[in-house]
């Protein structure tokens, strides 16, 4: 997991292809887009989402094998829970076509509070539970970039 702020994306130590993906997404003005999926390139998809955060215990962790998740918070605040690769436990069957797997828990779970302008990167195999409420449910708007691992 790598986290940072879009104002300092060059200082986060990301590979150039990830920086380019973030820049390309931001240049498309996602804050003004309706929720939905937008193709930005052959190996890059942008999902714009608006939803209400939920208590962490009501949510399940997710895992991806083929795509890198680059999440950028546009509005609101959210808590994101995550763990090291290999720390997901009690996982359901993998949905290969959609590249996700849901898991009941994350061993040695960590937490980060996301503010508008922050980004967080999850590599394939790193379990994460985004969209968790901090104190109470709240509305957020975010972008989730899906960058195919072959882009690296």
Q: What is the mean pLDDT of residues 2-21?
A: 96
Q: In whole angstroms, what is the distance from residue 114 CA to residue 93 CA? A: 29
For the chain, the domains span 2-151
Per-residue model confidence (pLDDT) at position 121: 99
Average pLDDT over residues 29-52: 97
pLDDT at residue number 135 = 95
**pLDDT value for 4:** 97
Can you tell me the mean pLDDT for 133-138? 97
In the sheet where 118-122 sits, what is the strand order?
2-5, 118-122, 67-75, 139-148, 44-52, 36-41
Residues 6+ apart with CB under 8 A from 32: none
pLDDT digits (tens, 9 = 90+) for 119-128: 999 999 999 9
What pLDDT band is residue 28 in, cutting at 50, 70 and 90?
very high
- As a whole number, mean pLDDT of residues 47-65 equals 98
Mean pLDDT of 99-112: 98
> CATH number for the 2-151 domain, one of 2.40.160.60, 3.40.50.2300, 2.60.120.370, 2.60.120.10?
2.60.120.370
- From residue 148, give the alpha-carbon distance in Å to each of 27, 73, 77, 108, 125: 20, 20, 27, 27, 13
**What predicted TM-score, i.e. pTM, was given to this entire model?**
0.96
21, 67 Cβ separation under 8 angstroms: no
Nearest to 40 by CA among 146, 150, 149: 146
């Amino acid at each position: 997991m790598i986290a940072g702020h879009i104002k300092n994306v060059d200082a986060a130590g990301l590979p150039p292809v990830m920086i380019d993906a973030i820049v390309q997404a931001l240049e498309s003005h996602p804050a003004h887009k309706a929720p939905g999926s937008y193709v930005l390139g052959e190996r890059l998809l942008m999902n714009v989402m608006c939803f209400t955060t939920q208590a962490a215990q009501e949510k399940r962790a997710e895992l991806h094998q083929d795509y890198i998740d680059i999440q950028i918070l546009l509005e609101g605040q959210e808590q994101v829970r995550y763990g090291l690769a290999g720390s997901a436990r009690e996982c359901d069957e993998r949905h290969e076509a959609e590249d996700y797997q849901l898991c009941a828990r994350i061993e040695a779970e960590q937490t980060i509070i996301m503010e508008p302008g922050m980004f967080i990167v999850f590599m394939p195999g790193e379990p994460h539970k985004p969209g968790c409420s901090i104190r109470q449910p709240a509305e957020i708007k975010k972008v989730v970039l899906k960058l195919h691992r072959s882009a690296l």
